[in-house]
Amino acid sequence: MISRLLVANRGEIACRIFRTCRELGIQTVAVHSDADENALHARVADATVRLPGAAPADTYLRGDLIVKAALTAGADAVHPGYGFLSENADFARAVLDAGLVWIGPPPEAIETMASKPRAKHLMGLKPLKAVTEADLPVLVKAAAGGGGRGMRVVRHLADLDPALTAARAEATSAFGDGEVFVEPYIEGGRHVEVQILADTHGTVWTLGTRDCSLQRRHQKVIEEAPAPGLNPELTHSLYEMAVRAARAVDYVGAGTVEFLIADDDRAHFLEMNTRLQVEHPVTEAIHAIDLVALQLSVAEGHALDPDGPPRARGHAIEARLYAEDPAQDWTPQTGTLHRLTAPPGTRLDTGYTDGDEIGVHYDPMLAKLIAHAPTRAEAIRRLAGALDHTTIHGPTTNRDLLVRSLRHQEFTSAAMDTGFYDRHLDALTAPAPDPYAPLAAALADAHGRSRFGGWRNLPAHPQSKRYATGGEEIEVTYHHTREGLTAEGVRVVRAAPGLVLLEVDGVQQKFEVARYGDQIYVNTTPLTALPRFPDPTTQQLPGSLLAPMPGTVVRVAEGLTEGSEVKAGDPLLWLEAMKMEHRITAPATGTLTTLNAVPGQQVELGMLLAVVQPG
């Protein structure tokens, strides 16, 4: 029996596995990079081992260091989680060769299925060898790994070579393997997958379907189980293909077989993920099981029930909460997460707690919220409501996008597909700050100050404050009077530093206010307090391109120098941050007058990268 488990991962998934280990009485070992020394997964483990460095290639992708850490810490088993080395056959062999228990499928199964071209060949499919105009659009895809990294949609032949170059670079950085391939891209399809679990005694479970169609950058955002609207024949066919894939490689453990369902209800095999999926909680919720506990049981040699898994009940939906700005090309955000709390009754899986720093080295996912209910409509309502009442004080997140997505008619009617955000992103990210939030912030700040705010000729002279929110600057005014604080058009019922009550048209509204320096949060509306007079030294020249995040310059456009003529939208350079590559483009057609970036350079948020003089 397993007594001490090392998790070869970090963040949310490491914390998730540790939770099950604690329930089973298994001791835990964490590995951490220098950037993760104080991360939650390192704090909650029974023991930790340092992996020197910060970059994944130096730490969480170093299988030799992780195996050494397991032996040094006295672990007898290794769980890879998802991402990093979870689908690396050589790492699995190294774990087994060291005499440790591997929580996953045999290395041979990983080797066959982790390479997307080999997996497709096994299932009777072939990737494109030469792309012609008639094949477009196509998808460039990393042969190893997943999570949307190393993927590019190509709609014009001229874009194919740049897409291949970018995908190889991103795949090498994320997985240590730059192999990519090209396959037809099916537009308007649904992304549906089947969860499987197999033991060493010949039993293969299929644990229902999941729909993961809502994606950004080919990475899932909202997942649900079971996949809605599938007819029984199609569902049965998906189960058969999933079992066939598992048996073809003598699969053991948890895995997922993914499909794209076209408009004509034909299922196209995408890949088999030989690991636990990020979205596994929705399957756990409807089947009332613990997939991590079952993984450990299978690894210990126990048999699954040959009659199949527990019957599914109800519907479950999961939303991934990211530190990113969907309105700004999904740009990752960094900084201090001051507070993160979800309402009772909602499952919250996270690798962060209040006060943790969100850095640039790893994926920007903060947490997953999961709701389970008897019906799909009830699950949607519960999850949207829970997100609405989740407290998030820190960097910009996709929370508002998630709430609007869940309440969108296309999603509630189960008519969504993988092009959902291509069609609706602008509407879903339109700013909608609470119009009374700035006033509430000002009143909370004014509470307890002098009634007259210092000597004035007119005691009722209005006070004003300026805030930035939703891309706009807003100025609000209020008065100090003998009766207390007042404002035009509302009745101030109460004003305290953390709570303001306003009566608007006879209805009282509650505003909870939290402040961290210049950052203010009023309910779910973030504000930035602005100085009364702008600092002229902070002004930038027109056409200035500032780093949208801390990161590393990985490439500069070929032949680009100061004096080069550029067109609006031309890629100028590429930044890598949070395991993704981000393209910096020319804001206008004109001349590049300044270029402050070279490959390999580390840049900070707001650093001037380039200036394009329009005209």
Give the Cα separation of 476 and 496 in Å (integer): 17
Give the Cα separation of 268 and 10 in Å (integer): 33
DSSP assignment of 257-326 equals EEEEE-TTS-EEEEEEE-S--TTHHHHHHHHT--HHHHHHHHHTTPPPPTT-SPPP-SEEEEEEEESEEG
Query: Prior bond to 548 cis, omega within 30?
Result: no
- C-alpha dist (Å) from residue 321 to 224, 342, 435, 546: 15, 12, 25, 26
The strand pair at 315-322 and 365-373 is best described as antiparallel
Beta-bridged to residue 546, according to DSSP, are 608
**Selection from 535, 520, 340 nearest residue 444 by Cα:** 520
Determine how many CB atoms are found less than 10 A away from the CB of residue 497.
14
Judge contact between 610 and 596, C-beta under 8 A: yes
Question: ∠414-419-422 over CA atoms, to 5°?
Answer: 125
3-class secondary structure per residue, 371-434? EEECCHHHHHHHHHHHHHCCEEECCCCCHHHHHHHHCCHHHHCCCCCCCHHHHHHHHHCCCCCC
**Tokens 């950037």 belong to which residue?**
35
Q: CB-hemisphere CA count at 13 Å for 72?
A: 13
Please give the order of strands across the beta sheet that includes 507-516: 484-486, 472-481, 463-469, 525-530, 519-522, 507-516, 499-504, 491-495
Element (H, E) at 480: strand 472-481
Residue 275 a catalytic site member: yes
**Tokens 């519960």 belong to which residue?**
382
Judge contact between 295 and 103, C-beta under 8 A: yes
Find the helix packing angle between 107-114 and 89-97, rounded to 10°: 170
Query: What torsion, rounded to 10 degrees, do the Cα atoms 549, 552, 558, 559 define?
Result: 80
Beta-bridged to residue 486, according to DSSP, are 479
**Selection from 305, 277, 301 nearest residue 291 by Cα:** 277
**Tokens 């949310």 belong to which residue?**
12
- Which is the catalytic residue, given 10, 16, 190, 275? 275
Q: Extract the tokens encoding 583.
A: 């393209």
> Which residues have CB under 8 Å from 521's CB, separation 6+?
393, 513, 514, 515, 527
The strand pair at 356-358 and 331-332 is best described as unpaired
- Helix, coil or strand: residue 453: coil
Question: Which residue numbers are catalytic?
Answer: 275
